């Protein structure tokens, strides 16, 4: 299954500017550091980069720290919060 979403906000600049359409592949996916994912957190979908994986948990960061609410604020998330891995656009 695939997810198609539009980036909102500047947390993933310069990699994914606001308005960029992304295509994500749903589970099962391999989650490794550097992967950009869509997660479900506090009733919202968020697009972030996986910074670290520890067991069944992930630590997520935005590419633009000044504009990102990420694991520096909300901490580690369970991997089951990951809805999909961003597959397109490529080049990052």
**Looking at residue 42, which CATH number applies to its domain?**
2.10.109.10
**Nearest in space to 76 (alpha carbons), one of 91, 90, 64, 59:** 59
H or E element at residue 72: helix 71-74
* pLDDT for the residue 20: 96
Of the pLDDT bands very low, low, confident and very high (cuts 50, 70, 90), residue 27 is low
pTM: 0.92
* pLDDT > 90 fraction of the chain, expressed in percent and rounded: 90
Its domain, for residue 53, covers 2-88
Structure tokens given for 91: 């080049």
Number of domains in the chain: 1
**What ranges in 19-70 are assigned the alpha helix state H?**
none
Of the pLDDT bands very low, low, confident and very high (cuts 50, 70, 90), residue 92 is low
DSSP 28: S
């Amino acid at each position: 299954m695939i997810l198609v979403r539009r980036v909102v906000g500047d947390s993933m600049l310069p990699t994914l500017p606001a308005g960029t359409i992304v295509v994500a592949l749903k589970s099962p996916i391999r989650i490794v550091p550097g992967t950009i994912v869509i997660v479900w957190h506090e009733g919202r979908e968020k697009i972030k980069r996986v910074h670290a994986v520890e067991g069944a948990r992930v630590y997520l960061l935005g590419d633009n720290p000044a504009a990102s609410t990420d694991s520096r604020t909300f901490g580690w998330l369970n991997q089951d919060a990951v809805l999909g891995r961003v597959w397109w656009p490529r080049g990052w």
